[in-house]
């Protein structure tokens, strides 16, 4: 467990410092906009997506400084999604990570603009910031991956489907479609972006990494649904039992609590099988094994 904590802390501290550096470069530092950006981005969190960028890139022996910009970009996109997700027109949640949501701390207008700015900052970072050992062709592929995963073909599509499904019972297949887009697409993008940074070395690994990403992305959401029931407000990303309170469709609601936990275990095994296959091909995904254990076995 110490190796797990040590590795995650290294990644988390690294991306936090990178984010601070990039935000500190923005103009109008004393404005409400930049204060809301800083608040919404540096409020805390597990940094799962940037950690997956680092862990995947290290599988191809990339140095961490080649991955810093990509890790920060993916976290900017994630932070934007959370700020907008909490807005009254979306999930209408007043708390995030045990603190006031951005629109409560500041205003709805500030939160909307902060989210907009973080989305564009993600692309600006991927376009402009140093990425040693990464070719322009691969940088362009990373930009395309982030755009596809976060827009109408990915995260935004999932959010829209989630809103439409409120206050009505949906099938398990429909719920999985929502979460493979709303949550899973950006997790998959983090893994793929870490691989894309590696250039030709990624060629024989992408298919297995996609299988891994599909399993771990869905497992992350099922575990989140479980933690919404058993977690504490200051240890999860939203108010405890928020989903139950607003009759949202969740895996425990559709499957039952025990079956949802079995689902997580099944997805965990799928993820490990994909990593095992990568190991057979002489890759070294040991840091992705660590991330898998963290995602599945976390209690917050």
Domain count, the chain: 1
Output the pLDDT for position 4.
59
This prediction has a pTM of 0.92
Give the end-to-end CA distance of the chain in Å, rounded to a whole number: 16
Burial 82-118 (b: 16+ CB within 10 A, else e): bbbbbbeeebebebbbeeebbbebbeeebbbbbbebb
Residue 122 has pLDDT above 90, yes or no: yes
Q: Are 116 and 80 in contact (CB under 8 A)?
A: yes
Q: Which domain holds residue 33?
A: 2-297
- Looking at the predicted structure, is the pLDDT value of residue 113 above 90? yes
Q: What is the CATH number of the domain that holds 175?
A: 1.10.600.10
Question: Distance (Å, rounded) from C-alpha 277 to C-alpha 285?
Answer: 10
Which pLDDT does position 231 carry in this prediction? Answer: 63
User: Is the pLDDT confidence value at 246 over 80?
Assistant: no
Of the chain, the percentage scoring pLDDT greater than 90 comes to 78
Of the given ranges (113-117, 152-156, 191-195, 236-240), which has the lowest mean pLDDT? 236-240
Residue range 233-260: average pLDDT?
67
Exposure pattern of 245-274 as b/e (b: 16+ CB <10 Å)? eeebbbbbbbbeeeebbebbeebbebbbeb
In the predicted model, what is the mean pLDDT of residues 110-115? 98
In the prediction, which pLDDT does 233 show?
41
pLDDT band at 169 (very low <50, low <70, confident <90, very high): confident
What residues contact residue 125 under an 8 Å CB cut-off, 6+ apart? 22, 69, 72, 73, 76
177-190 pLDDT per residue, tens: 999 999 999 999 99
- The count of other CB atoms within 10 Å of the CB of residue 279 is 14
- The model's pLDDT over 102-112, given as tens digits with 9 standing for 90+, comes to 999 999 999 99
């Amino acid at each position: 467990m110490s190796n797990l904590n040590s590795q995650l802390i290294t990644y988390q501290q690294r991306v936090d410092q990178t984010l601070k550096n990039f935000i500190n470069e923005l103009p109008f530092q004393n404005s409400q906009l930049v204060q809301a950006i800083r608040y919404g981005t540096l409020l805390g969190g597990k940094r799962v997506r940037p950690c997956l960028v680092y862990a995947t890139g290290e599988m191809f022996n990339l140095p961490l400084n080649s991955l810093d910009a990509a890790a920060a970009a993916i976290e900017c996109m994630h932070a934007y999604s959370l700020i907008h997700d909490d807005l009254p027109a979306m999930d209408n949640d007043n708390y995030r990570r045990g603190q006031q949501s951005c629109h409560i701390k500041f205003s709805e207008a500030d939160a909307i603009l902060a989210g907009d700015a973080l989305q564009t900052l993600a692309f600006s970072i991927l376009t402009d910031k140093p990425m040693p050992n990464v070719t322009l062709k691969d940088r362009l592929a990373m930009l395309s991956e982030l755009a596809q995963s976060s827009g109408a073909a990915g995260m935004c599509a999932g959010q829209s489907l989630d809103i439409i499904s409120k206050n009505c019972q949906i099938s398990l297949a429909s719920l999985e479609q929502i979460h493979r887009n709303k949550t899973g697409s950006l997790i998959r993008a983090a893994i793929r972006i870490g691989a894309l940074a590696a250039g030709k070395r990624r060629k024989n690994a992408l298919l297995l990494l996609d299988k891994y990403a599909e399993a771990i992305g869905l497992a992350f959401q099922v575990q989140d649904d479980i933690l919404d029931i058993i977690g504490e407000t200051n240890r999860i990303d939203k108010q405890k039992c928020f989903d139950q309170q607003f009759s949202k469709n969740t895996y425990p609601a559709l499957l039952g609590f025990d079956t949802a936990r079995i689902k997580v275990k099944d997805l965990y095994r799928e993820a490990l099988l994909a990593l095992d296959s990568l190991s057979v091909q002489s890759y070294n995904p040991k840091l992705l094994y660590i991330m898998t254990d963290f995602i599945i076995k976390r209690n917050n």
